[in-house]
Amino acid sequence: MARATATTRRHTTSPPLGSVFYASVTLCGLFVLWATLFTENLNAVTSTALNRVTGEFGWVYLVSSLGVLVFLIVLAAGRFGRIRLGADTDRPEFGTVSWLAMILAAVMGIGLVSYGVSEPISHFAEPPHGLAQPGSRHAAVVALQHSFFDWGLHAWAIFAVFGIALGYSTHRKGRKGLVSPMLRPVLGRRVDGPVGKAVDVLAIFATLFGTTTSLGLGALQINGGLSRVFGMPAGTGTQVLIIAVVTILFTISAITGLHRGVRFLSESSMGLAGLLFAFVLIAGPSAFVLNLFVESIGQYVGDFVPMSLRTGSSGELAWMQNWTYFMLAWWISWGAFVGVFLARISRGRTIREFVVAVIGVPSAVFFLWFSVFGGSAIFQDAFRGGHVAGAAAQDSNNAIFAMLEAFPWPTATSAVAMVLVLLFFVSGADANTFVLSMLSSDGETKPRAAVLALWGGLTGVTAIVLLVAGGLEALQQTVIITAAPFVVLMVGLAYSLWREVREDPLFRPEPEPARAEREAEKPVPTA
């Protein structure tokens, strides 16, 4: 009876909140005040910092992301790929289908709808780097090729390195679910002091802005659909209202817990996305889309290295800021959030299984989605006198709805697209709220409801003030700047992970005397 009481007390009493929590909340609060009271100053500072960071150090985003991708391929292909994220006897907590659905929906779902049409059709109308004649057949291939680059292997490699490092650190080494302990091979005991706490605060700060960018994009997308399809007013006021309502929804969902909230939303959103995908593929120009997909994959593979290392040094800095640098910075800023989330749902997976699933499967899904939706929009403009590119140029949030207008039942399918954005919106912010609460609660896997509510509210408020301050441009600028220090952290994590797997017990078994001594020291179970 005493044992049961102790167990109950342990699960119901949370440890006190520490300096990381108070420092991160204070910094986020100060930023909100800055954006609210000194909006022009904020825009001026972020614009100057953006040009400095991307103009002088933009190449770092490119080299580091490519390096991480190569590192993970080597890691998974070699003997270290057999290491489990957990004990050797651990097996996955979630089934493979649920696992993949949670990854796709909670991580990058909004991008499927927000960019699935707008990016390919924009590149078709204005091909990147002058690589094709606007509106030509080759422009269609180049458009999808660069969309694949922005949403494919590089992005998921960034997520995967954080996920493996965190999963190895927490599940196999038994450390706290924080970013700082992963750097112990590099920083040593300093991870237990102010340096480690600063790393965790930085992780929280970057994660917050990566997610607020997604929330802002989701609000713009929902508002664009309501305006175009149902004639509702478009503007900042409506977008703020959307964010406020969704913030309440995802905060409630986060408090219900990972299994009930995130899992249900993830599986529901992926099921609905699958139905919309099948409809557009079957009702649209299937032969054209599939041929374009195959050709674009070939172009993507053939130009992979040159495309991965193309900088904005030849007068294309503005384009790189709007697309390549923004996308890479967005993924890097999401690294801690996605890493914690992937680690949380991937216990028992091997490194090889994790790399193949997290890099390969989502990339393939995004390639197909962009080909079907973007390819259908390109077909309409090229051969059916469509105006999707014009709608996207006027407002990128109109692109998918302009494309669906050429299909049967446009009002119904547009409504489905908006519901899909809402589900992705809530599931992504739900998972983010859980991760922010966990990072700021010393790695607590079941953060208290008050902390979840606080981070849910801060996320919504930050998205609102950035949207009011400068809309999409302010969101993009802030995420690129806040992600810059995270590049160094990402490289440090990869190096630390490499050092640790080389010393893993699977390949360096514990000596028999040490093992016997450790077993003798274990407490004897009581009845």
Residues whose CB is less than 8 angstroms from the CB of residue 81 and which lie 6 or more positions away in sequence, other chains included: 75, 350, 351, 352, 355
* The one-letter amino acid at 281: L
Spatial separation of the C-alpha atoms in residues 153 and 149, rounded to whole Å: 7
| CB 215, CB 246: distance < 8 Å | yes
Q: Which domain holds residue 182?
A: 78-502
Domain total of the chain: 1
Instruction: Decide if 45 is inside a domain.
Output: no
139 lies in a domain? yes
CB 22 within 8 A of CB 202: no
Return the pLDDT at 176.
Answer: 86
pLDDT one-digit tens code per residue, 34-55: 888 888 887 788 888 877 787 7
Rg of the chain (C-alpha set): 23
- The answer to the question of residue 523 being in a domain is no
**How many Å apart are CA 451 and CA 243, to the nearest integer?**
19
| Within-domain flag for 22 | no
Does residue 48 belong to any structural domain of this protein?
no
Say which DSSP state 91 is in: -
Rounded to whole angstroms, how far apart are CA atoms 362 and 16?
Answer: 38
Residues 6+ apart with CB under 8 A from 507: 79, 80
**Phi, psi torsion values for 285, nearest 5 degrees:** -80, 75
Q: What are phi and psi of 183, to 5 degrees?
A: -95, 10
Beta bridge partners of 350: 84
Backbone angles phi, psi at 152, to 5 degrees: -110, -125
Q: What is the dihedral of CA 77, 509, 443, 104, to 10 degrees?
A: 20
| 527 residues of the chain, pLDDT tens digit each | 333 333 333 344 556 678 889 999 998 888 888 888 888 887 788 888 877 787 788 889 899 999 999 999 999 999 999 999 988 888 888 888 878 877 776 565 667 787 899 999 999 999 998 889 999 999 999 999 999 999 999 999 999 999 999 999 999 988 888 888 989 888 888 888 999 999 998 888 888 877 777 777 778 878 887 887 777 777 778 888 888 888 887 787 777 765 555 566 666 777 888 899 999 999 999 999 999 999 999 999 999 999 999 887 766 888 888 888 888 888 888 888 788 878 888 999 999 999 999 999 889 989 999 999 999 999 999 999 889 999 888 888 888 999 999 999 999 998 888 888 887 777 777 777 888 888 888 888 788 888 888 888 888 888 888 777 776 666 667 777 777 888 888 999 999 999 999 988 887 665 555 555 545 545 554 44
Question: How far, in Å, CA of 312 to CA of 453, rounded?
Answer: 41
In a domain, 69, yes or no: no
- Cα–Cα distances in angstroms (integers) from residue 63 to residues 58, 192, 297, in the given order: 9, 30, 22
- The pLDDT tens digits of the residues spanning 373-414 come to 999 999 999 999 889 999 888 888 888 999 999 999 999 998
Are the C-beta atoms of residues 273 and 420 closer than 8 Å to each other? yes
The CA–CA distances, whole Å, from 155 to 148, 231, 271, 335, 361 equal 10, 36, 23, 9, 13
How does the average pLDDT of the chain come out, rounded?
Answer: 83
Q: Flag whether 56 is in a domain.
A: no
Confirm if 218 and 114 have CB atoms less than 8 A apart: yes
Q: Is residue 462 part of a domain?
A: yes
3 state SS of 152: coil
Structure tokens at 335: 């690294």
Name residue, tokens 């997610």.
211
pLDDT confidence of residue 13: 55
Instruction: Enter the pTM of the model.
Output: 0.85
Q: What is the pLDDT of residue 6?
A: 38
- Residue 439 sits in a domain whose CATH number is 1.20.1740.10
Provide the token pair at 168.
């190895």
